[in-house]
């Protein structure tokens, strides 16, 4: 069964550094999402992406964050000047269509900011 893959599985970074989290969505999916989950808390929406542009973003997704689809397969989340509170599990998801179509989640990247 096709799946969403994320790399790396765990990223440790010094505060203030930039990180790039990578995702390969399911190949025929057109809508892409990033969510984060701080340890022990609920999953929070960050951003959705369609047709090479951001569709929606939450209050969390400020100027520190950016997303990109650099080629036909990868979908990346860049976090500039990381802060301690950015430590979380970051999940990528994709769906075939928008409008609430089922989203398939990757295994996540655990980001630890020191």
Partner 1 sequence: ELKVEQNPLFLSMQEGKNYTIYCNYSTTSDRLYWYRQDPGKSLESLFVLLSNGAVKQEGRLMASLDTKARLSTLHITAAVHDLSATYFCAVTSWNYGGSQGNLIFGKGTKLSVKP
By CB under 8 A, name the binding residues for partner 1: 31, 33, 35, 41-45, 48, 50, 55-56, 58, 91, 95, 98-108
Which structure tokens are listed for 14? 């010094």
CA contacts within 13 A on the Cβ side of 14: 2
Least distance to partner 1 from the beta carbon of 69, Å?
Answer: 15
Least distance to partner 1 from the beta carbon of 93, Å?
Answer: 8
Which structure tokens are listed for 59? 């209050």
State the DSSP code for 84: G
Least distance to partner 1 from the beta carbon of 76, Å?
Answer: 18
Among residues 33 and 75, whose Cβ is nearest to partner 1? 33
How far apart CA 44 and CA 4 sit, in angstroms, is: 18
């Amino acid at each position: 069964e096709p799946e969403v893959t994320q790399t790396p599985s765990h990223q440790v970074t010094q505060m203030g550094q930039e990180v790039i989290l990578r995702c390969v969505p399911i190949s025929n999916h057109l809508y892409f999402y990033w969510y984060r989950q701080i340890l022990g808390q609920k999953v929070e929406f960050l951003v959705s992406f369609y047709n090479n542009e951001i569709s929606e973003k939450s209050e969390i997704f400020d100027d520190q964050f950016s997303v990109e689809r650099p080629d036909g397969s990868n979908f990346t989340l860049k976090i500039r000047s990381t802060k301690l509170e950015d430590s979380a599990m970051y999940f990528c998801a994709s769906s075939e269509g928008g409008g609430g179509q089922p989203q398939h989640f990757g295994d996540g990247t655990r980001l630890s900011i020191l």
